[in-house]
Amino acid sequence: MRSRRSISDIVAVVLLIVIAIAAAVIIYMWLSGLIGSVHTSTSATQVKLEITGANVTEPSSGYYKVYAAVYNPPDSPSTSITLGELEFTNGSLICSAPISPTTTITPSGYAPIPFNCSGSAASPGTPVEVVLVTSQGVQVSYTTSIS
């Protein structure tokens, strides 16, 4: 009887050690993933651009002239706008174009962002979203209609 009890004590100790090691590995993996994501996305989470107005015109079929007025709040870092997109309100892409030259907006600054692109034709009055993408990958959008 005594030998059975000692075997179960040894099994219990081994199980506790295995559980403790497994818990330590899981916590380490979780913390290393969390810390890694905080370091890579800090600048992107601080970007708080706002599109204060936008205008979309269609001078010829399938060709669009887009103008967006962008404000960068004082608590947001300087950021660059690298890409402009025009989408239907359901998220379908109409067209996109790189912003050239890239426009950098300082904190408390306003900037006009014009771009031209061609894509699927939409009639005047169609609601669309103007989407601007920053160099950090942050997207800001504004809903307007084609005039």
Per-residue pLDDT, 142: 92
The whole model's pTM is what?
0.68
Tokens of 126: 């169609």
Kindly state whether residues 34 and 69 are assigned to the same domain: no
| Domain range enclosing 25 | 1-42
**pLDDT tens for each residue of 93-138:** 989 999 988 888 999 999 999 999 988 778 888 899 999 998 888 8
Q: Count up the domains in the chain and report the number.
A: 2
Tokens of 68: 């967006």
Per-residue pLDDT, 44: 55
Per-residue pLDDT, 41: 47
Kindly state whether residues 36 and 62 are assigned to the same domain: no
Say if CB 128 and CB 144 are below 8 A apart.
yes
Tokens of 140: 């800001």
Best CA proximity match to 65, nearest among 112, 103, 110: 112
Say if CB 64 and CB 116 are below 8 A apart.
yes
Kindly state whether residues 5 and 60 are assigned to the same domain: no
Kindly state whether residues 31 and 63 are assigned to the same domain: no
Kindly state whether residues 68 and 36 are assigned to the same domain: no
Of 1-5, 8-12, 131-135, the one with minimum mean pLDDT is 1-5
Q: Which residues pair with 113 in a beta bridge?
A: 68
**pLDDT tens for each residue of 27-84:** 888 877 765 555 544 455 577 889 999 999 987 777 899 999 999 998 888 888 999 9
Kindly state whether residues 56 and 26 are assigned to the same domain: no
